[in-house]
Chain A
Amino acid sequence: MTKIFETPLYPYTRQADQNAAQPVRRKVVIIGAGPVGLAAAIDLAQQGIEAIIVDENDKVSFGSRAICFAKRPLEILDRLGCGEPMVDKGVVWNLGKVFFDERQVYEFNLLPEEGHRRPAFINLQQYYFEEYLVNRARELQQQGAPIEIRGGNKLIKIDDKGDHVDLTIDTPEGPYQLEADWVIACDGASSPTRQMMGLDFVGRIFEDNFLIADVIMDAPFPTERWFWFDPPFNKGQSALLHKQPDGVWRIDLQLGWDINKEEEKKPENVIPRLKAMLGDDVNFELEWVSIYTFQCRRMENFRHGRVLFAGDSAHQVSPFGARGANSGLQDTDNLCWKLKLVMDGKAPESLLDSYDDERVYGADENILNSSRSTDFITPKSDMSRLLRDAVLDLSEHYEFARPLVNSGRLSVPCTYDQSELNSEDKLDGPTRSRPGSPCADAPLGEGFLLDQLGDQFTLLTINADAPNELDVDGIKIKRLALSSADDTSNAIKERYLGNAQQAVYLIRPDQHVAARHDTFDQTYFTNALRRAIGKSV
């Protein structure tokens, strides 16, 4: 059987740009056709901005790799027009079990809040994730949107000229020159773009190795996340079992630092380990095996002139908590609307520095959380292990110790509390929807709130009067007028009104709250919009 990750999805074809006598100028060139690069291109192309992806390969990701996709990225994908196939294919799970030594110490339910269109998490192999993004890109292309994926195109030279970027791209038929107004580098943790530009990537290396295996089996394991600390089948180490679509199970086994990677990857060494874990009577087939080590680090700045870094190229985290691809999608969500306003001449170029501020803040939050999980899973001193084991022992008997057990703090979007794009909070409303926070979804008629917000600035009014359309400095703000009568589930009241009787929210195109007030105050909201696009007020 030919697997999706073995089939070329965007094979090399010769482009007119390669025959041009002078380098052709393109609007946005994106380096890398992974989840982040594809999402960026779709976001821009949907808004009419030319986006050319170059990638040295021609296939989707090999092996499952990123497998946990969180609610916020799924909501972003809804905005990009491809959330549905992901959720249809993905495995939804809520229950997690924690084992220590030979026994289960406790279980937890993610207990997702009611009234959201999307679940807390789905498990989906990265190759499907990328395939659905490629399908969406093709669909946009057929509708005439300016989007292209150029496989077999490898960036070999990059030079920021101040008013544009010069690129040299190698192909099977030799190199060609290209110019770009803007470049987004989404070329992964070992980012060649970052290396060619001589930029830093500083942080902590964790001295550990993990064996990661995709196993096809017909087994009665339930759709749950199982995590083992120090299990009998992997003494002194940890293990994780997670279900993916198509009867594929993901197994992560911690191996320790001092190992021979090539030896450990051989099926004759992998299979006995898996048998010890799954039992002798379970029939399974290995689909993919890999060994990874990881680091927690980030670039000092994600913006370098006309080159913007997003996803793993800008920041790398340990896998615990699923904060890699999930945060990468939040990067492009944050970046694309800003880039469009700057390219349209509606916002100052300095708006792009807020991408740097906000997403560096997000990266630091992710690095902190994933480093702490790593320290709990792999204690780096005797005392750290002693305390960890005490927490696990206590967690079996006492509820108080369970919040201390850390097998990964699962990805949630960050609130940009310190952002300069925020305006002063003028509403006695719920803390969760203060300026800087991502909008929480809520049921609305037959559908959901976030689908109504879309990707433009929105003035959300609840029981409050306001003009139906506003224009501030050439930016149109559409109004979404709600009243308590629409709020049959009470979710709008709980998530957006709190103690207030009425409210007006200014919501950014990435669905974060920029400002809120108890009435429509023209001066307040005009200034809030200007502030939210990086103008000084």
Chain B
Amino acid sequence: MSERLNLKPNIANADDFYAELLAAHEGLSKEDSDALNARLLLILANHIGDRDILAAALKAAKI
């Protein structure tokens, strides 16, 4: 796993972020919620860009 993948707390006001994430899903069907998650994931991956980091993140998610 790339040592450059940050697995330490990195989001300021984490509770605000989590509330915003839940709010984005509010009222959506299961299908629409899944699609939103997929789009969000791709947007974040693109922002990161770095292939090593993305590979390490994929590995980290498979716990």
Binding site for B on A (CB under 8 A): 369, 372, 375-376, 381-384, 387, 391, 393-394, 396-400, 402-404, 406, 409
Contact = CB atoms under 8 A, between A and B. Distances in A.
Nearest to B19: A372
- DSSP class of A's interface residues: helix, strand, loop or mixed? helix
A400 B26 contact: no
A409 B25 contact: no
Given A382-B30, A383-B25, A406 B7 contact: no
Contacts, number: 50
Contacts of A397: 60, 63
17 contacts: A375-B22, A381-B25, A381-B26, A382-B33, A383-B22, A383-B25, A383-B28, A384-B25, A387-B21, A393-B63, A397-B60, A399-B8, A400-B6, A400-B11, A403-B9, A404-B14, A404-B15
A394 B21 CA distance: 17
A404 B18 contact: yes
Q: Which 7 residue pairs spanning A and B have beta carbons closest together?
A: A398-B7, A383-B33, A403-B14, A383-B25, A403-B9, A400-B9, A400-B7
Given A383-B22, A387-B25, A406-B18, 17 more contacts: A369-B15, A375-B19, A381-B26, A383-B33, A387-B18, A387-B21, A398-B7, A399-B7, A399-B8, A400-B6, A400-B8, A400-B11, A402-B9, A403-B9, A404-B14, A404-B15, A409-B15
Number of chain B interface residues as a range: 20 to 34
Contacts of A398: 7, 60
Interface string B1-41: 00000111111001100110110011010100100010000
A397 to B, nearest CB: 5
Contacts of A399: 7-9
A400 B7 CA distance: 5
A394 B63 contact: yes
A3 B21 CA distance: 48
